A and B are shown apart, each in its own frame.
Chain A
Amino acid sequence: MKKLNRRDFMKLTAGSGCALAAGLGSSQSAFAGSLKLQAGGKDFSPATGKERQAIPTACWQCVTRDSMIGYVEDGRLVKLEGHPDSIRTLGKLCAKGQAGINQVYFPDRILHPMKRVGKRGEHKWKRVSWDEALDLIVSKLKPLRDAGTPELFMYQYGRHKASQAATMYDFMQAYGTGTIGNHTSVCEAAKWVGQESLWGGMYDNWDYDNTDYVVIFGSNQFETHTNHIPTSQRLIRAKVDRGVPLYVFDVRLTNTAAKADQWVPIKVGHDGLVMLAMCNVIMNEKLYRKDHFKFMRVTADYKASVADKITAVTNNVAKYTPEFAEKHSGVPADTIRNIARGFAKAKSACLVTYRGTVMHYHGADQERAAMLLSAITNNLDRPGGRVMGVGAGWKSPSSPRAKVHKTLHVKDGFPGEAAYPTHHVSHQVLPLIKDGHAGRPKVYWWSCYNPGFINGDNKELQAIMQDESIIPFLISTTIVYDESSQYADLILPDVTYLERWDWEDMVSANQIAEFYIRQPLVKPLGESRCQGDVWPELAKRMGFELAYSSKEDFVRQSCEMTPGVREAGGFEYMKKHGVWHDPDAKPNYGFYETKVDISGDGVILDDKTGVYWNWKKAGVDSQAQAKSQGYLNTKGAKKAYIAQNIDGTAYLAYPPNTKFVKAGYLDFYSDNFANKGLPAFPTYTPIPEHQKMADDELNLTTYKVAVHTHSRTAHCKWLTEIKHDNPGWINTKTAAARGIKNGDKIKVYNDMGEITTTAYVTEGIIPGVIAISHHLGRKHSGVYGSGQTSPTSGGAAADPDVKNIWWKKHGTHPNTIIPNASDPISGTQRWMDTVVRVAKV
């Protein structure tokens, strides 16, 4: 392969590249093997041989948001592929990304604003103009704002990132509502909360390009991940090219486990315990590395010596012997020992966790165990280890803030439900609104979100939406008629991500930030409109102005404001090239070792914690007062954190940056946790429901496959063709005990209700579990997703492929029998703790 200079790719597509004799048909010339093929960056019509127009943009099928190239032929988007110049994706795109075209052209797409004319849920709609729709919205929102109750307008999103989020938050700030919900608690909030309690920030990356050893718990990186394409290709390359050992702990034989040196089956909810047992082996056998201990806090004492800390960690994990862990987790003690030794002895090692580890009771504490294992082996933010993710830092315009700015407290769960819901408790938003004690919004608007499908107890959430007495006015911005928009009072036709502008910022796998944009590949179909274009229009109609006139304008201004991007050529450069990174940037490791200047005005040393902080920045009246109340007792002090004094050196260390008030240490001993009656040090806490299971009960777990996101791909025909049914995975022995054979119809039930599916009897799952993927069982998702056409007046040009649909099954939805229950630490939805029975139908 000729190694194309990455930066040269767009030049090639502009036509100056290799002029090759080409074309279809038998008599035309090809070329000899002396010429090398290029990997991508160009595409041609199979029918005519004509070169297709190439436009750089970015994916949005999942949160990975790969930069990519869209190919357009005669005004129609026909192909997507990875952007060859991207340092994140290295020119690759996954199955979902490849099927992005289906998002634009699926036959049931909503293309016009629609107003409800029947009762909620009667599926009766009237097409209205955008003018009418916006007037209707203003008639609801303006009176709330004028009355000084802007918080009674609630907005909730499923996926808003980068400029899609920035434009929305900007509008909401200018309007005055802080009642903005998200969806993170159903994703992985516990993981972030566990991390924030330690290294202050969140989003770990794993340095696969440099690592020597990889251990994965509860993460199926080869099929699906929040940073799938950048990380998974590097992992398989590390494995095959460099022989890096890979061990995967999972209840299920995932594709990731299938490619590992060893699949280590583990009982549901015991990842943290096995990690603590690995710590036990490493401490007892003195395989730890001392390097990171000086940045760790492992007892209440802020001034403990490294030797004291080593003793304390050894004592704290003493009870988690491999034998103890084997008894509860089902993982053989020798396997734990071997992997612990390999992990500790490797020059560098990655400890990976995800939903399987954290979507549990005390899930956040499981993540703390993962951080502990990484820290004692000196694999935190070091080359080849678990590192802090690096993404692009964009600057963007911001509009004047509303005079009245208020929030309805329906975002963080019921009182006492979660100690640190720093990423909110999104699955409880609708139940809390129904409850009413924290107030109810008058207008609830959701976008790129399907609360009636993606949360636990989803039928109940649908019932809340259907009840007009609970929330009087519902607005849904969506491209597809789904389980939630069926109850809306007004449906707004969203653009797909392939028809809109954005700047993007997802984390790089190589610790160098990549700046990239999304731009429209085709004109928005029908009357679909980007939310970022709706905000300025709505503001104008309500009598205030935003700092941008359209999403494109917002992106343009951001490109001209952002250092680096601006000098590279700003908006015009980004439109042409799609991606930019600083060519002189070095991979970002070891931020905690940065030495900090403490000479600034107002900087003092806190005696108790050893934190240097700026009392002036913290808003304290005098230095004397600051000294007397101390860093930890000063509200707002964490904003004034400067450095941590460690053995006389001022290190940046691990600054606090969320709701956790902490010093600059990795808080493995956490006062924040201790004060709320939570384990101060990473601890094995059995899942309450699992302790009282009857013999015939099973754990229900859910998962994703390679070709679907949770709720936004069922209408993508090329994906649903590959995965349209979701049988329950059940171990041969577990099935036999119930008289279940492969392919039998089964029911899965508990107090919540019952679902039916077929049994996939396999040796690829641990006994005692039934696993059902969670993206199917759609009641409404267009003809490809649900088997029935949507009751919409819009509809794209009929897809001739509809007549070729051959599958009759549309799967089942496990969320129906999973309650909305939160991790008491983080407020994360406990997807993996549900107990069920399974029987042959």
Chain B
Amino acid sequence: MSDNKTPDINRRKFLSGVSAAAAGTAALATPRVSLEAAQSKAPRWVMVMDLRRCIGCRACTVACKSENNVSLGRFRAVIQEKTMGSFPNTKKAFLPLMCNHCEGNEKDGVPPCVKACPEFPGKRAKFKTADGKTIRYRTGATYKRPDGMILIDKEKCIGCGKCIDACPYGVRSFDPFVKAGGDPSKQAADKCDLCAHRVDNGVEPSCVNTCQGRARIFGDLNDPNSEVSKLVKAHNLAKADNVLLADEGTNPHVFYIDPDNILKSLYTKRKKGKLDHFVDQIP
């Protein structure tokens, strides 16, 4: 693959400083850009979903339930499936969905869920890289860490549900098991956190661990030698066709290898105010 910028690349070429307070952050969306902006040593965690390899087995769905003790009635990861075409030339395809760990729009680099959080921007925090550098950023009940993870601090969450409404992908829900620390009369918001508790300890997310098709590839987009960087480059994934709802300007960081155009033909969007698109069901 060439290093030529795709038509969309400029749209993505923004400073990903999580907030104005962030210093020196440049966790950017493409390998090419990240090479140019090598002053930061923070990783940029991303997921590549190789749809050729997803067999719709639901091991990821259940592994996530177990790893994160996700209550019934909601999911952090799901598979959508759809049967298309006419007999006997019928096709069926699978589409794994999760939080897109968006970079945020071009102007401010703040994803819609973070923007909607009344507790953001909160306290300043420091992110230490492995080589000892410090990156400062702003926390909130929902916030973006310099390594690209969109996280929820349930102690700070006030259970207002604004982030749940704001997410165009509809991947957030209230956790009936955990009270909102900021308002214990309410439940905290919850969603995929890329298994931060595993990643921070050097282990891949649980859904990646159990994916028998190896359809889920997780890694650091800021490392040009990582498998995800190579895949993003080889399959030219940093463009609107290979992410969900590119028009929303959220700059999602879950990339799909999708030679059969499954994203276009299959993806069922959330209906406003509803989350039933994000319930994993086998027909």
Contact = CB atoms under 8 A, between A and B. Distances in A.
Interface of A: 1, 17-18, 20-35, 37-46, 49, 51, 78-82, 91-99, 101, 222-223, 229, 232-233, 236-237, 240, 253, 255-259, 263-265, 705-707, 717-719, 721-723, 727, 731-733, 760, 762-767, 800-801, 803-806
Of the listed residues B86, B92, B280, the one surrounded by the most CB atoms of chain A closer than 10 A to its CB is B92
B43 A42 contact: no
A32 B130 contact: yes
B62 A98 contact: yes
B176 A92 contact: no
B200 A24 contact: yes
Given A30-B43, A98-B59, A717 B72 contact: yes
Interface in B75-95: 83, 85-88, 90-94
A92 B210 CA distance: 5
A222 B56 contact: yes
Contacts, number: 258
Contacts of B58: 95, 706-707, 722
Specify the main secondary structure of chain B where it touches its partner.
loop
A236 B65 contact: no
Interface in B5-63: 41-44, 50, 52-53, 55-59, 61-63
Contacts of B177: 800
A93 B207 CA distance: 10
Given A718-B66, A801-B72, A32 B59 contact: no
Interface in B238-282: 280-282
24 contacts: A21-B128, A26-B145, A31-B43, A33-B220, A46-B196, A82-B210, A94-B210, A95-B58, A98-B59, A98-B63, A232-B55, A233-B213, A237-B53, A255-B55, A255-B56, A255-B57, A706-B56, A722-B282, A733-B87, A762-B83, A762-B283, A763-B87, A803-B176, A804-B72
Interface stretch (B96-104, B105-113, B162-170, B222-230): B222-230
A92 B43 contact: no
Contact of A78 (B69, B137, B283): B69
A416 to B, nearest CB: 40
Given A101-B66, A265-B88, A763-B87, A49 B143 contact: no
Contacts of A23: 200-201
Given A27-B125, A95-B58, A264-B88, 18 more contacts: A21-B128, A26-B139, A30-B129, A37-B203, A46-B69, A46-B193, A79-B206, A95-B62, A95-B63, A223-B56, A232-B55, A236-B212, A265-B87, A718-B62, A721-B280, A762-B90, A763-B85, A763-B86
A680 to B, nearest CB: 35
Contacts of B59: 92-95, 97-98
Contacts of A805: 72
Nearest to B131: A32
A40 B88 contact: no
Interface string B170-181: 000000110000
Given A22-B200, A26-B153, A718-B65, A236 B53 contact: yes
A68 to B, nearest CB: 10
B204 interface: yes
A259 B55 contact: yes
Given A26-B139, A95-B61, A37 B212 contact: no
B200 A20 contact: yes
A559 B94 CA distance: 43
A22 B53 contact: no
B216 to A, nearest CB: 11
B125 A767 contact: no
B199 interface: yes
Contact of A91 (B63, B123, B202, B209): B209
A40 B58 CA distance: 18
B198 interface: yes
A731 B209 CA distance: 37
Contacts of B130: 21, 29-32, 34-35
Among all A-B residue pairs, the 5 with the closest Cβ atoms: A33-B223, A33-B220, A29-B128, A31-B130, A258-B92
Contact of B68 (A42, A46, A82): A46
A17 B211 CA distance: 24
Contact of B93 (A20, A257, A258): A258
Contacts of B139: 26
A92 B195 CA distance: 17
A24 B202 CA distance: 13
A514 to B, nearest CB: 17
A178 B200 CA distance: 56
A37 B202 contact: yes
A18 B200 contact: no
B223 A34 contact: yes
A34 B226 CA distance: 9
A393 to B, nearest CB: 27
Contacts of B219: 1, 33, 37
A718 B74 CA distance: 11
A167 to B, nearest CB: 30
A804 B65 CA distance: 14
A794 to B, nearest CB: 22
Interface string B102-142: 00000000000000000000010111111100000101000
A49 B206 CA distance: 15
B65 to A, nearest CB: 5
A667 B53 CA distance: 39
B100 to A, nearest CB: 20
A801 B206 CA distance: 21
B201 A42 contact: yes
Nearest to B202: A20
Contacts of B87: 265, 731-733, 763-767
Given A28-B200, A30-B127, A32-B129, A719 B226 contact: no
Given A81-B209, A82-B209, A258-B91, A35 B202 contact: yes
Contacts of B281: 722-723
Contacts of B201: 20, 22-23, 42, 44, 49, 51
A20 B196 CA distance: 13
Contacts of B147: 30
B214 interface: yes
Nearest to B84: A763
Given A24-B197, A706-B56, A806 B62 contact: no
Contact of B126 (A18, A21, A27): A27
A236 B51 CA distance: 11
B26 to A, nearest CB: 13
Nearest to B226: A33
A765 B92 CA distance: 12
User: Which among B55, B86, B94 has the highest number of chain A CB atoms within 10 Å?
Assistant: B55
Given A49-B197, A94-B57, A719 B62 contact: yes
Contacts of A97: 59
User: Most B CB atoms within 10 A — which of A17, A31, A259, A265?
Assistant: A31
Given A34-B223, A82-B210, A723 B91 contact: no
B227 A1 contact: yes
A97 B143 CA distance: 34
Contacts of B123: 26
B282 A707 contact: yes
B67 interface: yes
A722 B61 contact: yes
Contacts of A733: 87
Nearest to A332: B88
A32 B128 contact: no
Contact of A30 (B85, B199, B213): B199
Contacts of A763: 83, 85-87, 90
B184 interface: no
B88 A98 contact: no
Contact of A253 (B83, B193, B214): B83
Contacts of B214: 233, 237
A721 B70 CA distance: 12
Nearest to B52: A240
B157 interface: no
Which of B128, B193, B208 has its CB near the most chain A CB atoms (within 10 A)?
A: B128
